[in-house]
Structure 1
Amino acid sequence: MALTVDEKSLKHGVLSLVVTLVEVIQEALERQALRRMEGGDLSPEELNRLGEALLELDEAMTEIKEEHGITVSVADIHRGLDEVVDDVVDKLVNPSRWAQEAGPREGLR
């Protein structure tokens, strides 16, 4: 049985995933920048350069999404990643939930 791959769909999916990952990294950078700003670790010049760089990255990401028609798929992937992270954090905060979901295991009596 031959595997049929739609090249356009594959490129769309891979680009959507890459853009989503860049957005996640961008969000982490923004949070780190905010912490450094609030901690007084940045000079006014550094703060200005960082703000401009993050703004340029945001504009570039928006342009890429619009140009390739992946705005909705990136949002869907991002939402899915957020749900996974929320679930993992909830299980770490509430280990009993994790144990309940795992259920009884064979041989562990």
Structure 2
Amino acid sequence: MTAQGGGRAPRAEGPGRRIALDPESVGKDLAALVLTVVELLRQLMERQALRRIDAGDLSEDRIEELGRTLMALEERMDELREHFGLSPEDLNIDLGPLGPLLSPD
């Protein structure tokens, strides 16, 4: 809501003040955001699996299954990044003073 009432945001005035929306870049940006979240979750799952392995909580069969699953997920992520023309760096959001979101693999 604006102070002007009516519930509409004010429009930019004058030539050249329009927002350029490119459907292709919006799709790529959305894909990058979704893949960033998936990559973050993949890294967290991998770290948790390593902790469980180190703690001795998993059977040999379960370790093998987890390894195959994580490798398949990483391969699929590579395919999706390639499909959308994204590099691993494109998914690593800079959090300013906190540093990058994703850890290097």
Query: Do they superpose with TM above 0.5?
Result: yes
What is the aligned counterpart of 1:47 among 63, 69, 78? Answer: 63
- Determine the C-alpha separation between the residues in 1 that align with 2:97 and 2:44: 17
Q: Structure 2: where are the runs of 5+ without partners?
A: 1-10, 12-17, 101-105
| Structure 2 counterpart of 1:75 | 89
Alignment length (residue pairs):
84
Conservation of the 8 A alpha-carbon contact between 2:35 and 2:91: no
The root-mean-square deviation of aligned C-alpha atoms, in Å, is 2.0
Q: Structure 1: where are the runs of 5+ without partners?
A: 88-109
What is the aligned counterpart of 1:29 among 34, 39, 45? Answer: 45
Q: Percent identity?
A: 35
Name segments (4+ residues, structure 1) moved above 6 Å.
none
| Structure 2 counterpart of 1:64 | 80
TM-score normalised per structure 2: 0.70
Higher fraction of helix: 1
| Structure 2 counterpart of 1:94 | none
TM-score normalised per structure 1: 0.68
